[in-house]
Amino acid sequence: MTPETREIFALSPAEKLELVEDLWDDLARQPDDVPVHPWQVEVIEQRKVELEKAPESAVSWDDMTGRLRSLRRGD
């Protein structure tokens, strides 16, 4: 493990999360440079087909995050 890596693992959970967010934002600036595996493309294509067959099955981002928060709280 490099000294830099040790420093990262020594960060608090909040600092680690901020670092992950910063890294994600950096990757999002050039999405074409992020490698996508063939199996990921297959999954996306299959989900698109399923959505076209049953558009009513779609869930909004707000609904999904609400469901996840409820699961986390144990509702």
Contact by Cβ (8 Å): 12, 1: no
Q: Where are the alpha helices (DSSP H) in 1-75?
A: 3-9, 13-28, 38-53, 61-73
Q: What is the pLDDT of residues 1-42, one digit of tens each?
A: 898 899 999 999 999 999 999 999 999 999 999 999 999 999
| pTM attached to this predicted model | 0.54
Q: Is 12 exposed, middle or buried (0-12, 13-18, 19+ CB in 10 A)?
A: exposed
Q: HSE-up of 65 (CA within 13 Å, CB side)?
A: 3
CA–CA dist 1, 18 (Å, integer): 21
